[in-house]
Amino acid sequence: MRYEKPASAKEAAGLLAKEKGAAFLLAGGTDLLVKLKMGMVEPDLVVDIKHIAKANEIQTTAKGFNIGAAVPGARLTDHKALKKAWPGVVEAANLIGSDQIQGRCTLAGNLCNASPAADSVPAMIAAGAKAVIVGAKKRRTVPVEKVAIGPGQTCLGSDELIESITLPKPGPRTGDAYLRFIPRTEMDIAVVGVAVCVTLERGRVKSARVALGAVAPTAVLVPAAARAIVGTSLDDEALEKLSRACSAACNPIDDKRGTVEYRTRLAGVLAKRAAKIAFLRAGGNS
Amino acid sequence: MTHDNSYVEKDYKVVGSRVKRPDGVDKVTGKARYGADVSAPGGLVGRVLRSPHPHAQILKINTAKAEKLPGVKAIITSADLPDLTDGDQGMAHILENCMARGRALYDGHAVAAVAAVDEQTAAKALKLIDVKYKKLPHVTDVDEAMQPDAPVLHENMFTRGVEPAPTKPSNISARTQMGYGDVDAGFAEADVIVERSYKTEQTHQGYIEPHACLASVNPDGTAELWVTTQGHFTFRNVCSKLLGLEIAKLKVTSSEIGGGFGGKTHVWAEPVALALSRKANRPVKLVMSRDEVFRASGPTSSTSIDIKMGARKDGTITAAVAEMRYQGGAFPGTWAMLGCMTAFACYSIKNNRSIGWDVVVNRPKVAAYRAPSAPMAAFAVESTIDVIAKEIGMSAIDVRLKNVAREGTQAPYGPTYGPIGIENTLEAVKSHPHMRAKLKKNQGRGVACGFWFNIGGQTCVDLNIGIDGTVNLNVGTVDVGGARSSMAMIAAEELGIAYDDVKANIGDTASLGHNDTTEGSRGTFSSGMATIFAARDAIGVLKQRAATMWGIPLDDVEWQGGEAIATGDMHSNLPALTLKEIAAKSGRTGGPIAGHNEVVADGAGMGFASHICDVEVDPETGRSQIVRYTVVQDAGKAIHPDYVEGQFQGAAAQGIGWALNEEYIYGDDGRLQNAGFLDYRIPVCSDMPFIDTKILEVPNPNHPYGIRGVGETSIVPPLGAVGNAIADATGVRMTHAPMSPPRVLSALDARDAG
Amino acid sequence: MLGMQVSFSSMFRVGDGPEPINVQAASIEELMQALLLRYPDLQTHIDQGVAVSINGQIFRDDWTVAIPADAEVYLIPRIEGG
Amino acid sequence: MSNATLVSTVVNGDAVQFACPTDESLMTALRDRVGLTGVKEGCGTGDCGACSVTLDDQLVCSCLVLGVEAEGRNVGTVEGLAQDGQLHPLQEKFIEHAALQCGICTPGFLVAAKALLERNPNPDETEIRYALAGNLCRCTGYDKIVRAVQAAAKDMRKAKRR
């Protein structure tokens, strides 16, 4: 196994492009090293992106935030402006594993691992995040919901990597929230994850984005769920509709972590709870 | 020499205090050496190839390619572990479990093993071993395995304990029956009869340290084994037998042990490591991965239990019947029998009967797990008692007190109890402030009791006094949770010296006589007893030396407070001789001063506990959170209260994990799906509240200090206590453990639908 | 020789069943000898592990232990633990 | 050792060099090549925290870090907690409060608790419990561990004020 630590995303893409064997990107390594340990992957090349300066930065721009692909979860928590703007995204990222994992895990890695249960992904989708993708020949920007195309599969070409994740500047009276269900209080993979982002106008939901995790092959944006609450002040009836829309959008599997029935049911339960938090954060009155 | 083990009340100077453990500094600085922490010159890395099939015939194992890989030094299969078990079936099963012989009986069953120069080479070699399997139908569920059309694991297994003896083999290894009285008459007397069926899933001890050993076998038949184990003497005996070694020539050293809970009482990897070393002629270190620990060490049984209990309106339980099915994994065990013995042991029930069915399935060979088999039976019985209490409108504690076992009660397995503490624990629970703590919305409270026998057994202790008067205490029971402090405290107490002047060590198999495994909560009870007698033996020598130093008759010397005192009219004016003074002169008064003891420490005192649990249930998700928890247990005598509390808390936490989320999940393919700490969910720090403890001390009459074992009992009540608390919070009776969120939610649905 | 009634934890099928029987023995060793003479099948149980309860105190290993007169004696399975 | 890489790093303040295969974890490198067996392997997959170390003061599971990633970094293990023969207050309190039974998880807990108290000198019980959720203990039920961390935090705050 060759280990490379390029200084730029372009250089990294070049290394990937040249590699004929199995090549893997290393950011936090919290998924890759588990796969190595379990013998699930046998890399010929590992490209460590932590030495790419840009990948280690959180930039605040006029348009919002640019979060480098190698920035670990712990640093998101420490970034006050980011936490204030997108508390749901930061909370979701912080739910990935323990403090130890937080020292390493990244938003981009969580996205590229393409687990349907990735905690940060529904939150990023709800927030309208985009992935800045660098290839050997070109750069492109892709909405987060388009990155994963199936369990463990992404839209990235073999010469591409995510350099950063962008989050827009939240509009006024916007709030987001992410909730997941796990059997314990920590250290579990989400059985269901729900992210809600709402923007209010005169106390009512003007626009909303609702995304679900662990209930389909990829995290999904659920426009019908958003429609269920737009125009409402999140009254019980709206919440019920939201809940039903979320459950209806579920297409989960039965596995050791949850049954189809349980996941479908909980998606609705968590959606209501997450929507209430997002609503409050946006300045709504409960 | 026989010693008087009867309890004598006395005031203690050291015992009962909270001293610092002698191995503390090593353990907080990272210096302590556990199973995987040593290496040997020229050492190789061992790795095991395991069956991916739950049940398969092994047609052929081709190791040729792997052998050619540079760096591979030995490859073994069952052919390298010839059967030397002389018709000892239990031993033959251990051998077959260590390495499959012609058939793989569970997912993870060892099939071959490699020793190579490094990890990478060993891993590569495993991939080059070609095993041809013929898949066979499998069964992993205990009830399904008992069906007449179930795939049979052992063609030569006929159910014991049924008459007439069966003519067809089956997966039922034995039927057991216990109890006394006339249950039909008892049920006829009852005002209320409750019948319920329960299921508990398989759990694992979940010790954080995986199995690990370093084996070295020489061509002359001498060998050494460094290993994380609860019983290095037992490991020595078993490994010697399986490898054809002479017992005295195999030296086994127990490393520091990173948790056992029963799971490190049996050999798995050790005979394999020894066989690899023998073949390679080099030391071999074999460390299991976490995935291997789950798939191929010894978890506990999954069970299916039917309970029928009848009671009068005044709370008297008039009859109780249990029918219990326990799977022992791929080899027969006596787990259901233990369930039968323990199920009703907390109570005095005039008419009781327990029937147990020991069953084999395509899962790893079950090993003891802390009060083995008792928690499942108690889950069923303690839940049912709460149902009865509700039906007759009595408090659950009062129903228990009404039927509580006391001194003189006949145990369900026959004998009459001596002094026992179950009633004391229930009374303590009844008056505990926890019972008055206010419950919030969606919260409920449950109480449950538990029993475990505790055992004693063969023990051997050496006590050597240095010339400066400090003392080495060499103990042969492995210290799993702080026992060295307790032993040193007992030695100090007996000798009348300071705790800091005694250093307790765990001796290897070459330095002490046989000691039974640290299991059955026997460590402090039995080595404590042997330590007392060894110290008294040393005091005899000290007195003799003092007599010599003084030139007076031995009869005129007494030992008091760490000093020899001259008595009698002739010499009472002689100044006392301290232990240190006598030790300093030992070279000139007859040589080293030592005390020894070899004893079969019988008369272990029964352990009883009662727990209180408060739980909050999320009605929308079915998730239960423990909000308050109290353990009350009879310790007989708490030598070091911190570590007694620690045993209570740790046992309760394991029971809580079992009650809420821990379970082996097998797929339809018969493979274990959650062989890791990510999805085998033991409680994490944020899952738990502080666990309040109350130590009761009802002396065991058969121990000089009144000690009872304390390690296991408190894993027994939590399943029932949690289930009863959930029932209190929701009105729903859970009958399937773990009571995981999906199970609770579907029970809530059923309640709402009904 | 002391006479006593020996009871069997009902899992042991000895003779006609779990009914108590009369035996003359002063120690566990003698008890076992006497029982084996009458019930050779008991050997299987002994191989699988038995313990003797004398007046409620359980003896698993030491067969030199004396049995007092009129003691309550039970043969029960040999317990291990975790 | 196929395709080994030479790694220069600092461990507990000392410059250290080791050669390891590129796919070897930092945990294995620390244990087998540097000899720091206080770093424990409980799972190898980041689920138990027994191998916790700090990497440039960031708490990580060393089983989820490649040995080669330590190049030019600062690694802190349990072996570095005691200074000049003086136990760290957390080490003292763990012994005093009987916060260990078998002790296999103790190094990881100590490293994680130290990282917590450096970030938050006065954590409440809930904060302690969540900060230590990545460290599994099977012996204690966590009760005495949380109490030991509380006691150490108190002592450390007092010492700072002096």
For residue C49, what pLDDT is reported? 85
Distance CA B491, CA A124 (A): 63
Specify the pLDDT at position C69: 85
Pick D64's closest partner by Cβ from A33, A48, A74: A33
Listed by start position, the domains of chain A span: 57-168, 174-281
Separation CA B228–CA B270 (nearest Å):
10
Q: In which element (H, E) is residue A112 found?
A: helix A107-112
User: Residues D123, D157: one domain?
Assistant: yes
Residue B59 lies in a domain: no
CB D63 within 8 A of CB D25: yes
Residue D40: what residue type?
K
Pick from B248, B207, B217, B219: nearest CA to B35? B207
Enumerate the residues of chain D whose CB falls inside 8 A of the CB of residue B36.
31, 37, 41
**Alpha-carbon gap: A151 to the closest alpha carbon of chain B (Å):** 18
Which residues of D are less than 8 Å from B119 in CB distance? 28
- pLDDT value at residue B473: 98
Contact residues on chain B for C55, CB-CB shorter than 8 A: 415-416, 418
Same domain, D9 and D59: yes
The hierarchical CATH code for the domain A57-168 is 3.30.465.10
pLDDT band at C1 (very low <50, low <70, confident <90, very high): very low
3-state secondary structure of B277: helix
Residue B679 in contact with partner chain D when CB distance is under 8 A: no
CA distance B688 to chain D (A): 7
Provide the chain B residues 109-128 that lie in CB contact (below 8 A) with chain D. Answer: 118-120
- Domain hosting B735: range is 418-452+605-754
B70 touches chain D (CB under 8 A): no
Interface membership of B177 toward C (CB under 8 Å):
yes
Residues A271 and A279: their CA atoms lie apart, in Å, by 12
When pLDDT is cut at 50, 70 and 90, the band that residue D92 belongs to is very high
Report pLDDT digits (tens) over A217-257.
999 999 999 999 999 999 999 999 999 999 999 999 999 99
Residue where one domain finishes, among candidates D32, D59, D80: D80
Contact yes or no for B663/B376 (Cβ under 8 A)? no
| Calpha distance A25→D23 (Å, rounded) | 13
Could you tell me how many residues make up chain B? 754
A48 lies within 8 A of chain D by CB: yes
Provide the mean pLDDT of chain A: 97
For residue B93, list chain C residues with Cβ-Cβ distance below 8 A: none
Which pLDDT tens digit goes with each residue over B423-440?
Answer: 999 999 999 999 999 999
- Domains of chain C, earliest start first: 3-77 (3.10.20.30)
Residues B629 and B749 in one domain: yes
Taking the whole predicted model, whether its pTM rises above 0.90 is answered as yes
Report the gap between the CA of B521 and the closest CA in chain C (Å): 7
State whether B472 and B566 are in the same domain.
yes
CA angle A30, A36, A42 (to 5 degrees): 135
- Residue B280 CA to residue B211 CA, distance in Å, equals 21
Q: Is B415 on the interface with C (CB under 8 A)?
A: yes
The domain that contains D148 carries what CATH number? 1.10.150.120
Between C23 and A183, name the one with better pLDDT: A183
Average per-residue pLDDT in chain B? 97
* D144 CB-contact burial (10 Å; exposed 0-12 / middle 13-18 / buried 19+): buried
Residue range B66-96, pLDDT digits in tens = 999 999 999 999 999 999 999 999 999 999 9
Residue B590 to residue B85: CA distance in whole angstroms: 47
- Listing DSSP states for chain D in one string gives -TTEEEEEEEETTEEEEEEEETT-BHHHIIIIIS--TTS--S-SSSSS-TTEEEETTEEEEGGGSBGGGGTT-EEE-GGGTSBTTB--HHHHHHHHTT--SS-SSHHHHHHHHHHHHHH-SS--HHHHHHHTTTS--SSSTTHHHHHHHHHHHHHHHHHHH-
Closest by CA position to B526, among listed B312, B390, B704: B704
B740 part of a folded domain: yes
Of the pLDDT bands very low, low, confident and very high (cuts 50, 70, 90), residue C15 is low
Question: How many CB pairs (< 8 A) connect B and C?
Answer: 109
Q: In chain B, which residue's Cα lies nearest the Cα of A187?
A: B678
Instruction: Tokens for B653, please give them.
Output: 């936490």
Asked if residue B1 has pLDDT above 60, the reply is: no
Report the chain B residue with the minimal C-alpha distance to residue A98: B684
The angle at the Cα of A20, spanning A15 to A26, to the nearest 5 degrees, equals: 45
Q: Is residue B422 part of a domain?
A: yes
pLDDT digits (tens, 9 = 90+) for D18-60: 999 999 999 999 999 999 999 999 999 999 999 999 999 999 9
User: Are A100 and D52 within 8 A, CB to CB?
Assistant: yes
| Angstrom distance (rounded) from CA D22 to CA A44 | 10
CA distances to A25, A174, B487 from A107, in Å = 14, 21, 53
| Residues B433 and B505 grouped into a single domain | no
B529/B596 same-domain check: yes
CB pair distance less than 8 Å for B28 and D130: no
Chains with ≥3 CB–CB distances under 8 Å to D: A, B
Residue B516 CA to residue B478 CA, distance in Å, equals 10
Count of domains for chain D: 2
- Buried b / exposed e over B72-103, threshold 16 CB at 10 Å, is bbbbbbbebbeeebeeeeebbbbbbbbbbbeb
User: Using a CB-CB distance cutoff of 8 angstroms, which residues of chain B are in contact with residue A269?
Assistant: 620-621
User: Could you read off the pLDDT of B668-722 as tens digits, one per residue?
Assistant: 999 999 999 999 999 999 999 999 999 999 999 999 999 999 999 999 999 999 9
- Find the closest chain B residue to A263 by CA distance: B742
* Same domain flag for D75 and D119: no
Query: Is pLDDT above 70 for B149?
Result: yes
Whether residue B628 sits in one domain with residue B739 = yes
- Classify residue B530 as exposed, middle or buried by CB count within 10 Å of its CB (0-12, 13-18, 19+): buried
pLDDT of C14 over the 80 cut = no
Q: Which ranges constitute the DSSP H helices of B310-464?
A: 335-342, 374-392, 396-402, 422-430
Q: What is the domain-level CATH number for residue B741?
A: 3.30.365.10
How distant is the Cα of A271 from the closest Cα of chain B, in angstroms?
A: 12
In the block, residue with structure tokens 């500047």: A169
Count of domains forming chain B: 2
C-alpha to C-alpha distance for C75 and C39, rounded to whole angstroms: 13
Whether residue B617 sits in one domain with residue B742? yes
Q: Give residue C2's pLDDT.
A: 54
Q: Does B571 touch chain A (CB under 8 A)?
A: no
Q: Model confidence over B198-222: pLDDT tens digits?
A: 999 999 999 999 999 999 999 999 9
- Choose the final residue of a domain: D50, D80, D110: D80
The residue among D80, D104, D124 that closes a domain is D80
Chains B and C contact (Cβ–Cβ under 8 Å for 3 or more pairs)? yes
Q: Nearest 5°: phi and psi at D87?
A: -65, 145
Confirm whether B425 is domain-assigned: yes
Is there a single domain that holds both residue D22 and residue D42? yes
Rounded distance, CA C20 to CA A227, Å?
79
In this structure, is the dihedral angle defined by the CA atoms of residues B489, B492, B493 and B494, taken in order, positive or negative?
positive
Of B123, B621, B677, which is closest to A269 when you measure between CB atoms?
B621
Q: Are B375 and B339 in contact (CB under 8 A)?
A: no
Verify that D23 and D76 share a domain, yes or no: yes
**Model pLDDT for residues A33-91, shown as the tens digit of each residue:** 999 999 999 999 999 999 999 999 999 999 999 999 999 999 999 999 999 999 999 99
Minimal CA separation from D128 to chain A, in Å = 11
Q: Is residue B268 part of a domain?
A: no
- Report the chain B residue with the minimal C-alpha distance to residue C74: B415
> What digits encode the pLDDT tens for the residues B455-484?
999 999 999 999 999 999 999 999 998 999
DSSP category for residue B549: H
Q: What angle do CA C31, C33, C38 make, to 5 degrees?
A: 95
- The CA-atom distances, in angstroms, between B640 and each of A147, B472, D105 are 58, 19, 22
B31 has a pLDDT exceeding 90: yes
- Same domain flag for D20 and D67: yes
Task: Give CA angle at B646 (B641, B651), nearest 5°.
Answer: 130
Q: Identify all chain B residues contacting A184, using CB atoms and an 8 Å cutoff.
A: 661, 681, 683-684, 686-687
Parent domain of D67: 4-80
pLDDT (0 to 100) of residue C43: 87
- Which band of pLDDT confidence, cut at 50, 70 and 90, is reported for residue C18? low
Q: Is residue B569 part of a domain?
A: yes
> How far is the C-alpha of A268 from the C-alpha of A224, rounded, in Å?
13
Under 8 Å between Cβ of B181 and B351: yes
Indicate whether D21 and D56 sit together in one domain.
Answer: yes
The verdict on domain A174-281 having CATH code 3.40.50.720 is no
Interface contact B682, partner D, CB < 8 A: yes
Tokens of A83: 């936490």
Report pLDDT for A285: 84
Per-residue pLDDT averaged across B334-343, rounded? 96
Q: Do A184 and B673 touch (CB under 8 A)?
A: no
Model confidence pLDDT, tens digit, residues A155-169: 999 999 999 999 999
| Helices B483-495 and B528-550, axial angle in degrees (round to 10) | 30
Higher pLDDT: A115 or B481? It is: A115
Does pLDDT of C8 surpass 80?
no
C79 with B341: Cβ contact below 8 A:
yes
Check whether residue D76 and residue D94 sit in a common domain.
no
